[in-house]
Chain A
Amino acid sequence: MMNPEFRRNLWLSFSTHRLIAMPALLALIFLTAAITAVNVPLILYNTASILFILIAWGWGALNAGASIVDEFREKTWDQQRMSALGSWTMTWGKLFGATAFNWYGGAICLLVMVVCGTLSNRPNWVLEIPTLIAASILTHAMMIASNLYAGRFDSNFFRRGGAALIVLLFVVVGIGLQATAMRISNPEPGSTVVWWGMVVGDENIFLLESALLFMVCATIAAWRLMSNALQIRTLPWALPLFVLILAVYCGGFAEKKWFSLIGFAIAAGFSYIMLLTEPNTLLLWNKLRLRLQTGDWRSLLAELPLWTVTFLLTLVFALAVMLTWPFAAPDTRAIGALIPLVATVLLLRDVCIVLFFSFAPNARRPIAVAVLYIIVLNFLLPYFFEKLGLRAAAYFCDPVSDLFDTEPYGTVTLSLLIASIHAAFMLGIVIWRFNKIRRQTG
Chain B
Amino acid sequence: MIKISRLIFDYPGRRALDDVSLEVQAGSVTALVGPNGAGKTTLMRCIAGLETPLSGSIEVAGMDVIEEPRAVHRSMGYLSDFFGLYQELTVARCLEYAAASQGLSAAAIPQAIRDTARRLQLTDRLQQLSGSLSRGLRQRVAVGQAIIHQPKVLLLDEPASGLDPEARSELAALFRQLQADGMTLLVSSHILAELDEYSTHLLVLRDGRVLENRALSVPAHADEVRILALQLAAPDARLAGWLKAQPGLVCEDVEHDRAEIHFRGDATAQAGLLVALVQAGFAVSSFAEHKESLQQSYLRSVAAHLEKTS
Q: Which residues of A contact B (CB under 8 A)?
A: 1, 4-5, 7-8, 11-12, 74-76, 78-86, 230-232, 281-283, 286-287, 290, 303, 361-362, 441
Contact = CB atoms under 8 A, between A and B. Distances in A.
B73 A83 contact: yes
Interface in B60-94: 69-71, 73-74, 76-78, 80, 82-89, 93
8 contacts: A4-B97, A12-B89, A76-B86, A83-B102, A84-B70, A231-B49, A231-B69, A287-B54
A232 B70 contact: yes
Given A231-B49, A232-B69, A290-B55, A5 B101 contact: yes
B48 interface: yes
Interface of B: 10-13, 48-50, 52, 54-55, 69-71, 73-74, 76-78, 80, 82-89, 93, 97-98, 100-103, 105-106, 145
Contact of A78 (B83, B86, B103): B83
B54 A231 contact: no
A7 B103 CA distance: 14
Nearest to B101: A83
Contacts of B48: 82
Given A75-B83, A86-B70, A286-B54, A1 B97 contact: no
Given A11-B93, A230-B70, A84 B10 contact: no
B10 A8 contact: no
Given A8-B86, A78-B78, A79-B84, 5 more contacts: A1-B100, A4-B97, A4-B100, A80-B101, A84-B73
A79 B87 CA distance: 14
**Interface core residue of A84, A281, A441 (most chain B CB under 10 Å):** A84
A82 B100 contact: no
A275 to B, nearest CB: 19
Given A82-B78, A84-B70, A230-B69, A286 B93 contact: no
A290 B54 contact: yes
B299 to A, nearest CB: 29
B145 A231 contact: no
A1 B48 CA distance: 26
A84 B55 contact: no
Contacts of B100: 1, 4, 7
B276 to A, nearest CB: 56
Contacts of A74: 84-87
Contacts of A76: 84-86
- Nearest 9 pairs of A and B residues by beta carbon: A75-B84, A4-B100, A83-B101, A76-B84, A74-B84, A231-B69, A1-B106, A4-B101, A84-B103
A132 to B, nearest CB: 30
Nearest to A290: B55
A5 B87 CA distance: 16
Nearest to A441: B13
**Interface core residue of A5, A81, A82, A286 (most chain B CB under 10 Å):** A82
**Interface core residue of B52, B84, B106 (most chain A CB under 10 Å):** B84
Given A84-B101, A287-B54, A362 B73 contact: no
